Amino acid sequence: MLIPFIKMNAQGNDFVILDLFAHELPELDHAKLSEQICDRHFGVGADGLVILKPCKDAEAQMIIFNNDGSRAEMCGSALRCVAWLMMTKLERTELEIRTDSGIKHAIREVDFIRVNLGKPRMLQSNMPVKGFLGDLVDIGNPHYIVFREDVSDDPHLMYGAMLEHHPAFTKPVNAHFVQVVDSDLIKLKIWEHACGATLACGTGAASAVFAGITRGILEHQVAVEVPGGSIFITAQTDGSMLLSGEVAENFRGTYLWKT
């Protein structure tokens, strides 16, 4: 079966996108397809598979599958990518996208796509897990945020998998290690549930800034250096978090899926 796709990334957090506005496809086993098309050796290669489809209450609906076939609740990087696609398609600079975590608002600002990720919740601050004291934040998906003096030793590679599946959490989490460079600048190392180490994570960046604001160590506008580049988080007065950054289309192609 031939499946047309678009490959995009946001600071290296990359996705294979199936645009159902442009191409009608039969019912597919998206979980199985995600495992195969996202494989970096035998497929196209990506952190996740994104289904972009029409819906009644927004300009489009985004459904995300991790590269292990599991369905993701939310992804800020993927949201910016599909927002760019829809804005280009509709010749709009503002629209709404339905996600599994609700409808999200997106705006185009020159080269940046800005999305409102909603209001994060602090599920537990200073939560002890295997020698770490981190903040458990929910912003449509769960993030465990650990602040450290230095993250240059890549602690996410050493401890990310252990934290992701630790029994202290009711379900797997995204684990992030944060170095505060200044009150408006942090470095973030990322371990995403079902994906492992990734180059960027929008919801993770927003959760880290939210945790830092709650601790009184970060301002309400923060630049976040991730391994794949820089993104920007703004905490609004209503408690919602804005995520801004560039996105890029890598290429388009057709995947031969041998089901």
**Mean pLDDT, residues 71-89 taken together:** 97
pLDDT at 80 over 90: yes
The per-residue pLDDT for 187 is 98
For residue 146, pLDDT beyond 90: yes
The C-alpha atoms of residue 175 and residue 204 are separated, in whole angstroms, by: 8
How far is the CA of 227 from the CAs of 13, 64, 78, 154, 204, in angstroms?
10, 22, 17, 10, 13
121-239: which CATH architecture? Roll (3.10)
Per-residue model confidence (pLDDT) at position 198 = 98
CA angle 216-122-175, nearest 5°? 95
pLDDT at 21 over 90: yes
Question: Percent of the chain beyond pLDDT 90?
Answer: 99
57-73 mean pLDDT: 97
Whether 243 contacts 117, CB under 8 Å = yes
**Mean pLDDT within 38-57:** 98
Catalytic residues: 75, 201
Amino acid identity for residue 4 in this structure? P
What confidence score (pLDDT) does residue 66 get? 97
* Confidence at residue 95, expressed as pLDDT on a 0 to 100 scale: 98
Residue 21, CA distances (Å) to 4, 41, 64, 93, 99 in order: 12, 29, 16, 18, 16
Q: List pLDDT tens digits, range 97-142.
A: 999 999 999 999 989 999 999 999 999 999 999 999 999 999 999 9
Dihedral sign for Cα atoms in the order 240, 211, 48, 242: positive
| DSSP reduced 3-state for 167 | coil
**In the chain, where does the domain assigned CATH 3.10.310.10 lie?**
2-113+247-256, 121-239
- Tell me: pLDDT of 259 over 90: no
Using one digit for the tens of pLDDT, what is the confidence trace for 188-232?
Answer: 999 999 999 999 999 999 999 999 999 999 999 999 999 999 999
Query: Given this model, what pLDDT does residue 221 score?
Result: 98
Q: Which CATH class is domain 2-113+247-256?
A: alpha beta
What's the Cα-to-Cα distance from 29 to each of 5, 50, 60, 61, 193, rounded to whole Å? 16, 13, 21, 18, 21
User: What average pLDDT does the segment 20-40 reach?
Assistant: 96
